[in-house]
Structure 1
Amino acid sequence: MTMPEPYGVGNSRITALAPQNDMQLIAAPDCVTAERAAIALALCGRPVRPVAGPQTGLRLASPFRKELVIQEPLAILTLLDELCPGTLFSANPVERAGQHKLTGLALLADQRLAEVIAARNPRDLDIAIHLLRDGVLLIEQCFRQRSPASRLDVRDAVAAPLIWRMMMLDRHCQAHLCLGLERVTANTARILQLNGVADVLGKAAEARFLDHHLPHDAAIGLPADQRIDWSPALGPAGRPQHLNDRTRRLTVVPASPTSSPKPADPAGDDPLGAVTEKLRLIRLTSQQRRYPGRATPRLPSRPAVIRLLADTIGALYPRHYGPEGMDAQAAELFITQTLQSVRQRLADQLELEWLLQPDADPAECRQRAQATAARFLAGLPQIRDLHDTDINAAFQGDPSAKSLDEIILCFPGIAAILRHRLAHSLYGFGAPMLARIMAGHSHSLSGIDIHPGARIGPACFIDHGTGVVIGETAVLGRNVRIYQQVTLGAKRFESDGEGGLVKGQPRHPLVGDDVVIYAGATILGRIEIGKGATIGGGVWLTEPVPPGAVVTQARASLNTSG
């Protein structure tokens, strides 16, 4: 009689089993490990009906051992894969590592699902769902890297019991936990069709799960009209920002490659622990409202955008803002290398901004970002030519200016205009966040606040500049000169009738060519300042001004009488 060929498990040796009755699955009531083992057995072509017991384990009979019982979840799966080599785990080390990673994510998500079921009030429920979807969305990403028709393996066996429970809660409690998990739910549906799976994930299991694991006072089971609305307590951060009906009741969390740290005990002795916990709850809720239905995306980096701005200025004016002591030949090499770096880094930041959109497609965002970065660089010569007219206007308009180099290096108004022209270019390409970062940085350097949406013509000179404010829809013609503390602002904001503001409406002044606006003038509303007009210092203006007019405030009078 020929003995079966042995297979190794760790430091022990077992034998590949031919008869099915040599393998027995003992399942504790509603045990996820038992369900995963049963599915793995079905995938190996060895479906068995679990035997009820106090503790889950896979019991094997062997010619070399009287009995072998494995209880640790991953060890069970590894053992089954050795009994049926190549069925559950891949032989490719990289893919095998990914399978082990998903197993760890699923085990963590099991704990999160238990927290969802255990929640007894709406706030705890919302946060528990945050944490659950954080892990499950990572699982969905793993499944999206596979072909929809790929062979079922250990990842499906591990994920199916978790997703099946979420599907049950969606069906009976309208929890919408599986919304947006198309790939992993599709694979779970395939798993449920396997021979033998109905013994562990069938109607009887469904009834036990809902009866035993979902108490009558569970928050997830309450009707929507009985749930407490605690969002007003959070202020604007807690106000829902629903984008469409599909995501109206969905809750998500920020995606993270690692598990969330255990929150501090708010009831402990450390007062900072209570503060940290409260801030965590507010942060999670705020992210849920802003990004319903998906993991929280990364934000563009403010320091990275500021460095991009500085490097771009260095490429435009390498002698003034490039490395010290460059000759002409070195400057050409510096510009080439700088622009190559700027193009890639700018594309990365543009992609991050556009991924914030609710229906963003990663591939489309990346392609659009790369194309836009190239278009931005292609427009730099025009920006340089345009800014040279600003420099000349400053030299002509300021008797204290001794040279063009002095203006480029020292004048805050010129620095602000250059940074505005770069930010305005990005604003026009549909990247308002990056543009606002640049504008905010320029404001901090110069004291001049120019919205990147403002349209400024050639030969603009802002003298001194501190306190100048130019609004989003303002339009300035050619050869406009502005002094400090000038405001080109909005007179009023239109309402949508429900308390919200109508955004993007023209509401700032139109300033014609050759206009001079002296210090402290405030010009409000969508009014037109005609060509060649002069607006005196301290004027408050809300009416149009015809071309060539001079507007001054009331003349001061001197009263010498007692």
Structure 2
Amino acid sequence: MPRLIAAPGCLTAQRAGLALVLCGRPTRPVAGPRTELRLASPYRQDLAVHEPLAILALLDELCPGALFSGDPERRAGQQKLIGQAVLADARLTEVTNAANHRDLDIAVHLLRDAMLRIERCFANRGALPVLDAQDAVVAPLIWRMMLLDRHHRTHLCLGLDRIMAQAARLSQLPGADTVLDDAAAGCFLAQLPPGAVIGLPEDNRPDWAPALGPAGRVQHLSARPGRKSKTLIPARNANALSQPSPPAPHDGQLDAVAEKLRLIRITSQQRRYPGRATPRLPSRPAVIRLMSNVVGALYPRHYGPAGLDAQLADTFVAQTLRSVRQRLSDQLELEWLLQPDDEQLACRRRARAAADAFLAGLPQIRDLHDTDINAAFQGDPSARSLDEIVLCFPGIAAILRHRIAHSLYGLGAPMLARIMAEHSHSQSGIDIHPGAKIGPACFIDHGTGVVIGETAVIGRNVRIYQQVTLGAKRFESDGEGGLVKGRPRHPLVGDDVVIYAGATILGRIEIGKGAIIGGGVWLTDSVPPGAVVTQAKPSLNGTTT
């Protein structure tokens, strides 16, 4: 019979205890200085295992098929999800140890981002899957998050319905109550550091509910039920507008120009699409409308229909997402059909899957962008409210649209992403390539003239002012006159960096954590953490110091 030695409040001990329950060998853990699983043997010294994955592997050997699947592909998926749970452990530690509101805000959203990824994996398992090692690993984590929600109003479990349902199923098995009981809950809550923001008295604790979903006072729609919308173009004229007007007489010269343009167009198309019909292109207006619809679904109170009643916001969002899914799938299919070897049926299936994946990632985009809004509020003394920031700040608008475009870029749709990015550029004056990776709590203040290149990587809590360039120093050639594409060539900006107006930072260099880059600086070399870089100071006699 395995014997479980458990350190106080240890995640590994709870996971091992639940794994024993799933193996049909529930046991009450014995308190000890460190967590280990002991197996008694009459022939040799007791076998003690300490590592979490090693404990699970050993229990799986004792009870084959109870924790891991025998199918190699499914087993690899189980182990991958367990690895994601380990990452979420670190995020939860950041939440419980946060020493100020800014760090807590970032930690909450990063933890939710990790858990939403796990939620997506749980969604692929079916309605009532067999409980296995994944549940044993994730259940203690979601249990801790539920405790924080109950006692500290953190709203960490918002939207994690499948994980919570599986955790509830596991907790109802005989013997599970000895692992996740009141004593364990008290031990976990007592471990919160005294200076942690999450452990402050209730009146000093931040309320995260508004940041994690639409909120506001009840409003009323200006439109009355049953009221018909106006028809902008009469039906009798609609067909006339869609048909080209007949040529005017004596336009032979214009006909000759049109014929020359037709020949040039055909030649160009044959060169780009040899041996096949000219494919249709994605619609720029349609893609821009899609981005606007997604923004409205993320922030319906700010960018939804005028006067949207708060009680109707959920209906509006659901209807918008259904419309976006079909239209986005159509545009993705058009982009991928531009490739010479892609078949229409394969592109259509891929487009539908990608559209679903994009929509599934919207909660993470919303969570991440809320950190940008809070960073702007904390970093700009002129900001009077979060609503003002969402509605008025060009840097915040540009970051949100970048996060939407970046999601599509990651799904293999660079053209649609670039259309969105360039439209945002035209509206805000901020040029961010959709391939750039931007961490949480990014604040672009003022913003006009900011340029961020394709392979730039920006850490968390970074502040950037107007006219800043994160660009490439040089472009490598392939030896035949063409440029080498896709290689990293833009800066790496660490956490908590401030870059003041007019700074130009070029090449694959690293700006260390907490560094300050002064205004007007031209920088092509890496900067160590905490450094302050400024340009030379002018003096009255014409020399510099």
TM-score, structure 1 normalization? 0.52
Partner in structure 2 of residue 252 of structure 1: none
1:547 aligns with 2:537: no
* Partner deviation per Cα, 1:84-122 (whole Å, 9 max, x = no partner): xxxxxxxxxxxxxxxxxxxxxxxxxxxxxxxxxxxxxxx
1: CA distance, partners of 2:479 / 2:542: 54
1:366 is displaced (CA, Å) by 0.3
Report the AA paired with residue 335 of structure 1: V
Q: Which residue, 455, 475, 485 being the options, matches 2:437? A: 455
2:516 — aligned with what? 534
Structure 2 counterpart of 1:140:
none
Deviation at 1:324, TM superposition (A): 1.6
SS of aligned partner of 2:539: coil
| 1:398 equivalent in alignment to 2:369 | no
Shift, 1:398, TM fit:
0.5
User: How far 1:279 moved relative to its partner?
Assistant: 1.6
Q: Are 2:401 and 1:419 equivalent residues in the alignment?
A: yes
* 1:367 to 2:368 alignment: no
Deviations 1:414-452 (A, max 9, x none): 000000000000000000000000001000100000000
Amino acid of the structure 2 residue aligned with 1:280: R
Q: Distance in 2 between matches of 1:363 and 1:450?
A: 33
Give the C-alpha shift of residue 329 in structure 1: 2.1
Change (3 A) 1:560 1:380: closer
Match of 2:334 among 352, 370, 391: 352
Partner of 2:475: 493
How far off its partner does 1:477 sit?
A: 0.2
Match of 2:414 among 414, 426, 432: 432
1:286 is aligned, of 257, 268, 293, to 268
What is residue 187 of structure 1 aligned with on the other side?
none
Q: Give, in whole Å, the separation in 2 of the partners of 1:452 and 1:331.
A: 29
How many Å separate the matches in 2 of 1:541 and 1:274? 54
Deviation at 1:349, TM superposition (A): 0.3
Task: Determine the C-alpha separation between the residues in 2 that align with 1:372 and 1:277.
Answer: 41
Counterpart-to-counterpart distance in 2, 1:495 and 1:356? 26
Quick one: distance in 2 between partners of 1:377 and 1:547?
37
Letter in 2 for 1:315: A
SS in 2 for 1:514: coil
Q: Distance in 2 between matches of 1:291 and 1:549?
A: 52
TM-score w.r.t. length of structure 2: 0.53
In structure 2, distance between residues paired with 1:282 and 1:540 = 45
1:403 Cα offset (Å): 0.4
Change (3 A) 1:310 1:560: closer
Do residues 275 (structure 1) and 275 (structure 2) align? no
SS at match of 2:470: strand
**Structure 1 residues 560, 362: CA separation in 2 closer, same or farther (over 3 Å shift)?**
closer
Q: CA deviation at 1:273?
A: 3.1
User: Map of 1:193-342 to 2, 5 A cutoff?
Assistant: 270-342=252-324
2:490 is aligned, of 508, 524, 533, to 508
Residues 281 and 327 (structure 1 numbering): CA distance in 2 closer, same or farther, change over 3 Å? same
Deviation at 1:560, TM superposition (A): 8.9
CA shift, 1:269, in A, is 7.8
Name the structure 2 match of 1:386: 368
In structure 2, C-alpha distance between the alignment counterparts of 1:467 and 1:451, rounded to whole Å = 13
Hey, what's the Cα distance between the residues in 1 that align with 2:378 and 2:260?
A: 58
Greater relative contact order (CA < 8 Å, ≥ 6 in sequence): 2
Q: Work out the CA distance in 2 between the residues paired with 1:337 and 1:532.
A: 44
The number of aligned residues is 297
Q: Please, which of 358, 368, 390 is the counterpart of residue 376 of structure 1? A: 358
The amino acid of 2:295's aligned partner reads I
Q: Secondary structure at the match of 1:508?
A: coil
Between the aligned partners of 2:529 and 2:410, the Cα distance in structure 1 is 30
Distance 1:492 1:297 in 2: 35
Give how far 1:278 is off: 2.2
Cα distance in 2 for partners of 1:519, 1:274 equals 53
Please list the CA deviations of residues 487-515 of structure 1 after superposition, one character each: whole Å capped at 9, or x if unmatched.
Answer: 00000011000001010010000000000
Residue 270 of structure 1 and its aligned partner are, at CA, apart by: 4.2
Q: Deviations over 1:4-53 (max 9, x none)?
A: xxxxxxxxxxxxxxxxxxxxxxxxxxxxxxxxxxxxxxxxxxxxxxxxxx
Q: In structure 1, how many angstroms separate the alpha carbons of the residues matched to 2:486 and 2:509? A: 16
Matched, 1:479 2:461: yes
Whole-Å separation in 2 of the counterparts to 1:537 and 1:475: 20
Q: Unpaired segments of 5 or more residues in structure 2? A: 1-249
Question: How many Å separate the matches in 2 of 1:317 and 1:517?
Answer: 29
- Superposed CA deviations along residues 463-490 of structure 1, whole A, max 9, x for unmatched, are 0000000000000000010000000000
Counterpart CA distance in 1 for 2:256 and 2:468 is 46
Give the one of 468, 481, 484 matched to 2:450: 468
Matches of 1:392 and 1:434, distance apart in 2: 29
**Whose radius of gyration is greater, 1 or 2?**
1
Distance 2:384 2:531 in 1: 32
Per-residue CA deviations over 1:127-165 (Å, capped at 9, x if unaligned) read xxxxxxxxxxxxxxxxxxxxxxxxxxxxxxxxxxxxxxx
What CA distance in whole angstroms lies between the structure 1 residues aligned with 2:518 and 2:254?
55
How far apart, CA to CA, are the structure 2 residues paired with 1:429 and 1:453? 11
Cα separation, 1, equivalents of 2:268 and 2:437: 34
User: Which amino acid counterpart does residue 558 of structure 1 have in structure 2?
Assistant: L
Corresponding position of 1:137: none
d(CA) in 2 for partners of 1:277, 1:471: 41
| TM-fit CA distance, 1:456 | 0.1
The 3-state SS of whatever aligns with 2:505 is: strand
**Superposition CA RMSD, Å:** 1.9
SS in 1 for 2:541: coil
Tell me the secondary structure at the aligned position of residue 455 of structure 2. coil
Partner secondary structure for residue 261 of structure 2: helix
Mark the CA change 1:560 to 1:518 in structure 2 (over 3 Å): closer, same or farther: closer
**Distance in 1 separating the partners of 2:447 and 2:423:** 15
Give 3-state SS (helix, strand or coil) of 1:507's partner: coil
Tell me, in whole angstroms, the C-alpha distance in 2 between the residues paired with 1:384 and 1:508. Answer: 26
